[in-house]
Amino acid sequence: MAAHRLSPSLNRLLFTLKNGSFHSRCCAVQSTASYSSSSSSEKTFDKILIANRGEIACRVIKTCRKMGIKSVAVHSDVDSSAVHVKMADEAFCVGPAPTSKSYLNMDAIMDAVRSTGAQAVHPGYGFLSENKEFARRLAAEGVTFIGPDTHAIQAMGDKIESKLIAKAAQVNTIPGFDGVVETAEDAVKIAQEIGYPVMIKASAGGGGKGMRIAWNDEETREGFRFSSQEAASSFGDDRLLIEKYIDNPRHIEIQVLADKHGNALWLNERECSIQRRNQKVVEEAPSTFLDPETRRAMGEQAVQLAMAVDYSSAGTVEFLVDSKKNFYFLEMNTRLQVEHPITECITGLDLVEQMIRVAKGYQLLHKQEDIPINGWAIESRVYAEDPYKSFGLPSIGRLSQYQEPVNLSNVRVDSGIQEGSDISIYYDPMISKLVTYGSTRAEALARMEDALDNYVIRGVTHNIPLLREIITHPRFISGDISTNFLPEVYPDGFKGHQLDVEKRRELLASAAALYITAQLRSQEVLGSLRVSSVPVKCSKWELCAELGDGCYTVDVTKSANVFTVEVDGGKVEVSGEWNLAATLLPVTINGTDRTLQCLSRDASGRIVLQFLGTSFQVRILSKLAARLNAFMPEKVAEDTSSILRSPMPGTVVAVSVKPGDTVAEGQEICVIEAMKMQNSLTAAKQAKVKSVHCRPGETVGEGDLLVELE
């Protein structure tokens, strides 16, 4: 299917290669992130300061290195040994952990610019990337801001103004209220005028923060309150606006690139419909949904908008696309986007390099017809979060083991952490962006599956189970997606991979093989012994495996490294190296190669295996142990309906109850802010409050007791 798309673009590729404008596309997807370079003789800057942290700082530094530019990292005190700090040529501490005191601290960053003599600043995304004041201050000191002019930042940064400009530039827009909403009651009135559902969002916002959907008056009031708080804490600007909420839309965005000479290009689209709580999870380029005409129409409107504000640098115009391929302008992000790598993969351009060139005042090297769609790229955002709690609540911890699947071909991992790094409550919990690339979508998807299976992340809860389920879901594979994909596919919340009979057999067989390997190894005592050892000679085992509520008889025979397992009415043959220390467990199950991960193994037979992305706990017992285990009492679990524990680490923002209060089921008890998101915790039943164990402003860990009910 994708082949016909590929051939014209290959022609373009050849054309451009002839002109020597960029290297082979493959470069862009190497793990070491060697991007195509344009013209090495161009002089740009000697030193660039990157006013950001994490993966995007590392990403920018890589291009700086390639272009022979010295890089300066800024960091908070807790980030002093972070990867971006180590990668940069110089580093400058800009304050304590909270972002408002470090990465958002303009005075400190200006100090860093002055004292390191950086000629330009790349802001990455988030933080100060769309802050016009920052751009203005840099300009005032003669330092180049690698991004658009303040005028464009201001015009596009304000959602209300941007919509007016878009309308004037003949870009399709969503019906809504073109003004600032002052109070909750205002919000309700406006919402009623537009008609439900409505979207309440921060005027200054982006990235899903400070955004709520309301279906009725009460939700509008609540949404107004949350959004304004979040907006205030995230952007220091609590202005909100309201617009019609388009149900079941796709989120497709166009990458634009413009120079300071009136040239602008659209670099095709990115499909970003897979979202949870308005934050993107899986992105791909191109979109399965767009036909060339729609793509061109969207691209041209995006360029019109860019021209209308004299845009320069890389930017993204976001559209909502309904099922009839009508598209509406949503907003323009005047910065490098998180998901820019997939565009780089299919176009072969290094966007950071282009941004730097444009900032220096060079003209664009390409014409619109030079921009190809080569193959297909998928990006999974790997987060430190628990996907079993509303598709992802932040988790924190130390990456005790961490291994990126960069040994696989056509896999690119953009990350800013390494083994031993801490994922803290202060910053975005993103671990990395995992990008795979293929000549077809199917190829890219197959690689993504493989890459996710080979990704080792220990010490923090991560969302790989969810990512792997998404990219293997029939609806996703067929391209039938919308921004409601997750709630529609998992109406009762995400529960991990659901094993069918065959997969269950495979899992149980692998666990049994691992168990026997460990048992046999226990007998391998080396050296000369005073009292000789009498190992149990055995080549056949009768075992029981417990998985969930099920209990299965497992009969195993072993010859060399091959285990033949009879379980649950079927026969499975598993072979592998069975290294008990390795993080990855490559096995062949009935002829199919799979990569499992053994997450833990204990003396009482419990083996936790990551299988098909999801981790499953299997308990393997000998037949005897299983028989005796039947006599063991069930340990009564804690009654959780009367206690409220923090579902994630964060800060207590508000406690709405005090001991003695009676709360109704579903009533808000307290609000926890984590990673800049406010989460309302509610009572699971109607009860009297027995005790309150938290205070506003306090930092709490996951599972900490907050409130007890009677």
Partner 1 sequence: MMAAFAVTRGTSGLLHGLRASFRGFAQVKRGNVAAAAAVAPTSRRRDCRWYCVSNLSVRERIDTKRRAALVGGGQSRIDAQHKRGKLTARERVELLLDPDSFVESDMFVEHRCSDFGMEQDRNKFPGDSVVTGRGRINGRLVYVFSQDFTVFGGSLSGAHAQKICKIMDQAMTVGAPVIGLNDSGGARIQEGVESLAGYADIFLRNVMASGVVPQISLIMGPCAGGAVYSPALTDFTFMVKDTSYLFITGPDVVKSVTNEDVTQEELGGAKTHTSVSGVAHHAFEDDVEALLNVREFFNFLPLSNQDAAPVRESHDPSDRLVPALDTIVPFESTKAYDMLDIIHATVDERDFFEIMPNYAKNIVVGFARMNGRTVGIVGNQPKVASGCLDINSSVKGARFVRFCDAFNIPIITFVDVPGFLPGTAQEYGGIIRHGAKLLYAFAEATVPKITVITRKAYGGAYDVMSSKHLRGDVNYAWPTAEVAVMGAKGAVQIIFRGKDNQAEAEAEYVEKFANPFPAAVRGFVDDIIEPSSTRKRICRDLEVLASKTQKNPWKKHANIPL
Report the interface residues with partner 1, using CB under 8 A: 77, 80-81, 398-402, 418-421, 521-527, 529-531, 533-536, 579-582, 603-605, 621-622, 624-625, 628-629, 631-633, 635
What CA–CA distances, in Å, run from 248 to 175, 273, 378, 482?
16, 10, 22, 6
Shortest separation between residue 625's beta carbon and partner 1, angstroms? 6
Complex with partner 1: residue 38 or 421, whichever CB lies closer: 421
Measured from the CB atom, the residue of 417 and 481 that comes closer to partner 1 is 417
Q: How far is the CB of 85 from partner 1 (least distance, A)?
A: 11
- Minimum CB separation from partner 1 for residue 509, in Å? 21
Residue with tokens 């036909």: 291
419 or 573: CB nearest partner 1: 419
Residue 266's nearest CA partner among 251, 246, 285, 289 is 285
Of the pair 12, 623, the CB lying nearest partner 1 is at 623
DSSP H helices in 283-350: 292-308, 340-347
In the complex, the smallest distance separating the C-beta of residue 580 from partner 1, rounded to whole angstroms, is 5
Q: 530 with 580: CB under 8 angstroms?
A: no
Evaluated on CA atoms 369, 371, 376, 378, the torsion sign reads negative
Structure tokens at 686: 């109607």
Nearer to partner 1 by Cβ, of 501 and 582: the residue is 582
Which residues contact residue 472 at a Cβ distance below 8 angstroms, ignoring those fewer than 6 apart?
445, 449, 612
CB 27 within 8 A of CB 35: yes
- Whether cis (ω within 30° of 0) applies to the bond prior to 586 is no
Three-state SS sequence of 452-469: HHCCEEECCCCCHHHHHH
Which of 59, 276, 335, 505 is catalytic? The answer is 335
- Which three-class secondary structure state does DSSP give residue 124? coil
Residue among 80 and 641 whose Cβ is closer to partner 1: 80
Q: Among 299, 309, 314, which residue's Cα sits nearest to residue 259? A: 314
Q: Which residue's structure tokens are 């529960």?
A: 495
Which of 164/538 has CB closer to partner 1?
A: 538
Sign, Cα dihedral of 317, 142, 109, 60? positive
**Whole-number minimum distance, CB 425 to partner 1, in Å?**
15
CB of 577 to partner 1, least distance (A): 9
Q: Collect all residues with Cβ–Cβ distance below 8 Å to 487 and sequence separation of at least 6.
A: none
Sign of the alpha-carbon dihedral angle for 280, 286, 288, 290: positive
**β-strands 70-76, 90-95 pairing:** parallel
**Of the two residues 101 and 503, which places its CB atom closer to partner 1 in the complex?**
101
How far is residue 177's CA from residue 185's CA, in Å, rounded to a whole number?
A: 15
**HSE value, Cβ hemisphere, 13 Å, CA-based, for 118:** 31
CB of 317 to partner 1, least distance (A): 40
Q: What is the DSSP letter of 181?
A: B
Nearest to 51 by CA among 129, 107, 135: 129
Least distance to partner 1 from the beta carbon of 70, Å?
Answer: 24
Instruction: Please answer whether residues 257 and 267 qualify as being in contact, where contact means their C-beta atoms are separated by less than 8 angstroms.
Output: yes
* C-alpha–C-alpha distance, residues 118 and 441, integer Å: 41
β-bridge partners, 607: 601, 618
Distance between CA atoms of residues 62 and 43, nearest Å: 17
Q: Which pair of structure tokens corresponds to residue 204?
A: 């200054």
Closest approach, Cβ 628 to partner 1, in A, equals 6
* Minimum separation from the CB atom of position 623 to partner 1 (A): 10
- Compute the residue count for the chain: 710
Give the shortest CB-304-to-partner 1 separation in angstroms.
49
Rank residues 522 and 686 by Cβ distance to partner 1 and give the closer one. 522
> Measuring CA to CA, which residue among 181, 342, 122, 360 is closest to residue 252?
342
Which residue's CB is nearer to partner 1, number 42 or number 419?
419
Report the half-sphere exposure of 574 (CA within 13 A, side-chain side).
30
592/604 with CB nearer partner 1: 604
- Taking each helix axis from N to C terminus, what angle separates 132-140 and 106-116, rounded to the nearest 10 degrees? 30
Q: Show the tokens assigned to 490.
A: 């998992």
Q: Where are the alpha helices (DSSP H) in 171-291?
A: 184-194, 217-235
**Is position 468 annotated as part of the catalytic site?**
no
Residue 77 beta carbon to partner 1: minimum distance, rounded to whole angstroms:
7
CA distance 605 to 625: 10
* Of 523 and 686, CB closest to partner 1: 523
Which positions are annotated as active-site residues? 335
